[in-house]
Homo-oligomer: A and B are copies of this chain.
């Protein structure tokens, strides 16, 4: 079993209604790998500049994350600046500097090519396709995307979608991609485009998983305190795929468990800024929160 994650490692400047943090480590690849590292030993593909903190890389390594696929290039690390309103689901991107990501051509190291699970986190669909072409018969391919690619690279995105097993998207993206207002119809329309599973992330409303012959839903962890929503979706995917990497089969049962673990990891991520919550997270807390989710829906 092995999980390869292709995504970004970044610096984020984040403003919430209560606090502001400058240039803390983030990026879809970082969040996702860290969340997955509580279940398996993920391998990461990405790029950082020389300014990326060695301390963070050691932290990743201590968590069992394989960084062979992370290039260190001269120049500055990808940078994102954003602001959240009182409603944590509403965010504004204030600045994006691609930096070393500008001409990044992701390459799977030889030792990554036979990965069981390949996750194409949010990057340009053309790059996602390139990676996909380098993998050798992965058991499972999953992808994520963002509004930007739906708007600017729709055709390339649909091309990748055709070749993946699991598609992660938030409710807005699912509606935008299909033109459907009803989430179930939208999800079903996406199932027609290739994936076997469509996983709709709905923020404070939880998650909806559609398979060809079943539906699964889970409310979000009921929390009063969202400190920093950044990376929630990536941590959901990390927990989801990390959990799946431990399973012998991909079926309704393991997918449901995966969605529950994904929700658990996302719920931890938002309790602190950046990756901070994972520095002190214990395996026992994960099991305890899974129980919270079980109790939340029991009737």
Contacts and interface: CB of A to CB of B under 8 A. Distances in A.
A208 B296 CA distance: 10
Contacts of A183: 204
B256 A299 contact: yes
Given A208-B219, A217-B219, A218-B219, A224 B188 contact: yes
Contact of A181 (B87, B223, B253): B87
Interface string A281-299: 0000000000000111111
A184 interface: yes
Contacts of A257: 299
Contacts of A208: 219, 222
Contacts of A214: 295
A295 B217 CA distance: 9
A151 interface: no
Contacts of A202: 205
B182 A226 contact: yes
A216 B206 CA distance: 13
Interface of A: 86-87, 181-185, 188, 202, 204-206, 208, 210, 214-220, 222-224, 226, 253, 256-257, 259-260, 294-299
Nearest to A186: B224
Given A216-B296, A217-B297, A218-B299, A223 B256 contact: no
A166 to B, nearest CB: 16
A187 to B, nearest CB: 9
Contacts of A220: 217
A217 B226 contact: no
A237 to B, nearest CB: 17
A296 B217 contact: yes
